Amino acid sequence: MRSRLLIAIALLNLASLVHCMRVTDGIEVDVAYQPKATPAQIRTDMGYRVALERALIVLGKVELIRCDNFVADLRGLLAPARARAHVLDTPTSLGVPLIIDLMESAGTPEFAGTMKPPPGRYCGLRVLGMPADQDAEGLTDETLDMMQNSVLIAGQVEDESTGEETPLLARIWEVLDCEVRFDRPLVFDSPVLESVSIQIDHTSWFDGIDFALQDSNAVQQQITENVRSSLQAVLPLAEADL
């Protein structure tokens, strides 16, 4: 009986030795932000030169939009967005806010994360600009004021015709709901690694503004609209075509 007890105990011990794990990757979408390099001066379409001293944006959430649900998702876009502590990542969204200092960007992409969406057709991205929270990536002593702002711009504006210089300060605190469409649908029906980059063209943020005639509120409103329209989703094939 003793030997059989020993066998039973040995079997119990054997159970603790079994260990192995095999992982098969599924559909994955790497997302990166790609701001344009910041020139020393930005020439606007209204004849001004903008020399930036600070330019920061906080992107709080990125979400894939299904083609099938595009109308429903657009309806969601129309609903007022609310700023809140960042939500956890989901298979179709990234929820960790990222502070991007556009003065330091030299056209290099900043990795935002990897989404793991279910099979389907995806036609675009919803990008949310919002004030940073405590967990935001890139939050430092120098960027603390981004906890109250979605976008912060400071610099000098020079009128090319008169040479007159005026200071520029824009603080956008509202949540910026931006929807960007792909130039072709992303179709996933089997495991694959895809990548999407979100280009930020902040050299267009001051277009359509007549700094000499418009008051600061109107300037800020136009910049807000320009920030929204400056985002573009680029797929690898489209990048190659360029």
Partner 1 sequence: MAALVAPLWIAAEVSACGTCSVGDPTLTIVGFEQPKANRVRTSATLRHRNDSIGETEVDKLTLSEQRMELAGAYSPTDRVSLSLMMPVVHRLISEVNLAEASIWAPGDLDFRVRGVIWRDRKFAPRHLVSLIGGLEFPTSSIEYDANGVPLPLEFQAGTGSWDPIAGAAYTMFSDPWSVYVSSVAIFPTTGIADTRASNSFRQTALGQYQPWSFLGFQVGVEFRIDGPGYIGGVRDPNTGGHITYGTLGLVGLPHDKVVMHVTAALPLIQRLDGTHTEGFAFTAGLVYEI
Binding site for partner 1 (CB under 8 A): 1, 4-5, 7-9, 11-12, 14-28, 90-92, 116-120, 190-191
Nearest to 101, CA basis, from 59, 159, 69: 59
Give the nearest distance from C-beta 94 to partner 1 in angstroms. 14
Taking the least distance from each CB to partner 1, the nearer of 18 and 213 is 18
Pairing of strands 48-66, 42-43: antiparallel
Give the nearest distance from C-beta 119 to partner 1 in angstroms. 7
Taking the least distance from each CB to partner 1, the nearer of 4 and 82 is 4
Give the nearest distance from C-beta 22 to partner 1 in angstroms. 5
| Helix (H) or strand (E) run with residue 167 in it | strand 165-172
- Distance between CA 187 and CA 178 in Å, rounded? 22
Phi, psi of 58 (to 5 degrees): -110, 120
Taking the least distance from each CB to partner 1, the nearer of 89 and 174 is 89
Give the nearest distance from C-beta 125 to partner 1 in angstroms. 17
Give the nearest distance from C-beta 31 to partner 1 in angstroms. 14
Taking the least distance from each CB to partner 1, the nearer of 9 and 144 is 9
CB 171 within 8 A of CB 105: no
Classify 208 as helix, strand or coil: coil
Give the nearest distance from C-beta 41 to partner 1 in angstroms. 42
Taking the least distance from each CB to partner 1, the nearer of 4 and 240 is 4
179: β partners: 126
CB 233 within 8 A of CB 179: no
Tell me, what amino acid is at 199? Q
CB 231 within 8 A of CB 178: yes
Taking the least distance from each CB to partner 1, the nearer of 31 and 227 is 31
Instruction: Give residues with Cβ within 8 angstroms of 140, minimum separation 6.
Output: none
The CA distances from residue 37 to 7, 14, 55, in Å, are: 70, 60, 12
Taking the least distance from each CB to partner 1, the nearer of 75 and 116 is 116
CB 210 within 8 A of CB 166: no
Give the nearest distance from C-beta 8 to partner 1 in angstroms. 5
